[in-house]
Amino acid sequence: MLTLRQSAFDRSAFDRLETDLFKRLEQQIQTAERVPAAEVHETEAGYSICLELPGVERDSIDVKATDRHLVISAERRAPQPERTEATETTQTPAKLLSEIRYGTWSRSFRFPSGINREGVQAVYRDGLLTVQVPKAQTLTSVSVKVEG
C-alpha cells in the first residue's frame, strides 16, 4: 500500500530566501563595481595614488586630506535625455542593456605616517586621477623638561 504524506517543509519559504539572497548579492556586486580601482605607491618623499575614473567630470571630484587620511569622492552622472527644439519635449530612448554604473562613491586611504595636507596635489586627465601626497616633516621625538 502506498501512503502519501505532506511534508512539513515549506518550499515557498526557501524560494523567497533564495530570491532575497540573490538580490542582496547583486546589490553588493553593483556597489563593489562602483568603487574605482586604485594603485598606491610610496616613496621617501610621499605617496602617489592613481584611481580609474572614466566618464567622471572633473568638477564632481572632491579630494580632502587630514593628518593621516585622504578621502576621495566623486559622482558619475547618468547622461541627460536629449531635447528637441521643435517639440521641447524630452525623448528617453528605451534601454536594452545597462552595465554602466552611475552614482556617487567615496574612498578613503589611511597612511602609516602623517601627511602634509597643504602639499597635496591632484591631476585628472584621460579618466585617471593622480594624487601626490607628501609626507609630513615632523620630529620623531620631543624633549620634555622635568620640573621639580
Is residue 134 within 8 Å of residue 46, measured between CB atoms? yes
Tally of domains in the chain: 1
Residue 125 domain flag: yes
Residue 69 domain flag: yes
Residue 2 domain flag: no
Residue-wise pLDDT for 36-47, tens only, equals 899 999 999 999
CATH of the domain at 123: 2.60.40.790
Q: pLDDT: is 74 or 148 the higher one?
A: 74
Residue 6 domain flag: no
d(CA 34, CA 60): 15
Residue 129 domain flag: yes
Band the pLDDT of 1: cuts 50, 70, 90: low
CA dihedral 91, 92, 93, 99 (to 10 degrees): 160
pLDDT at 97: 84
Residue-wise pLDDT for 27-85, tens only, equals 666 555 568 899 999 999 999 999 999 889 999 999 999 889 999 999 988 887 766 66
Letter for the amino acid at 74? A
Q: By residue range, what is the domain housing residue 62?
A: 58-76+102-137
